Amino acid sequence: MNKGKVTLVSAGPGDLDLLTFRAAKAIAAADVLLIDDLVDDEIVTLKAPHARVIRVGKRGGCKSTPQAFIQRLMRRYALQGRHVVRVKGGEALLFGRAGEEIAELAQAGIAVDIVNGISSGFAAAAGLGVSLTHRDHCQGVIFVTAHLRDGTEPDWGALAATGMTLAIYMGASRIDSISGALRHTLAPDTPAAVVQWAGTAREKRVCATLGDIAARAAQAQIASPAVILIGNAIGESVANEAARSEPVRRMRA
């Protein structure tokens, strides 16, 4: 039997209107769909009638499907000659564990295609109306996870010292400790924002400063999935006090 293949599809931050045409075509051509928890449920409407759908949720703070089990499923179905489409929220190559999956499949001689998508960090910036790399404020942006594989945290002081915009993923549950660590290097009035469900109809965002972002996020009941944005470029989003003081929900057009 000929081997099948695996396509890693980046589904964007949520809503189907942020899915690329290439992603939609891959989903429609799938024999097996492995769908992440943060992907819009309506994505199954794009699948071929014969496709098998398997939900393999992975979400911080919730019960998750083990990564090793997901990789075994991908390998098993591909070796059966199936076209396996692994649908990931956001951008597959950014904190999506794509590297582990690619390595596993390469060892089995299984072909892998990658379809890029919109990461929640960019969707959060769009909702705030800011450029993460505004040249009046910074020379770049750093995308960083709030915790390493062994459970430790990054060197927040070193990251803060770069002067770059920080886009912090998977940090909603520890925003207090993160902001506290960053304040050892950055001023308390450094602009900050946290955006939950970025780019979706459920989007909720809070603009504040590094000194009070944790309290404001707690008051607004911001939780995972959320992206924390820190840096002077984020100050462009706080032009008026109303946006600073009250969370804003985006309505689907």
Within 8 A by CB and 6+ apart from 184, the residues are 156, 157, 160
Query: Which helix or strand (DSSP H or E) is residue 83 part of?
Result: strand 83-88
Handedness of CA 56, 98, 19, 48 (dihedral sign): negative
176 is catalytic: no
User: Residues 58, 74, 164, 204: which is the catalytic one?
Assistant: 58
> Closest by alpha carbon to 194, among 181, 215, 177, 185?
215
User: Residues 40, 47, 88, 170: which is the catalytic one?
Assistant: 170
User: Residues 36, 40, 47, 204: which is the catalytic one?
Assistant: 36
170 is catalytic: yes
Please identify which residue in the block is written with the tokens 């970025």.
Answer: 198
**Is the N-terminal amide bond of 191 cis, ω within 30° of 0?**
no
Q: For residues 40, 42, 44 and 47, what is the CA-based torsion angle, rounded to 10 degrees? A: -110
204 is catalytic: no
Task: Report, as residue numbers or ranges, the catalytic residues.
Answer: 36, 58, 170
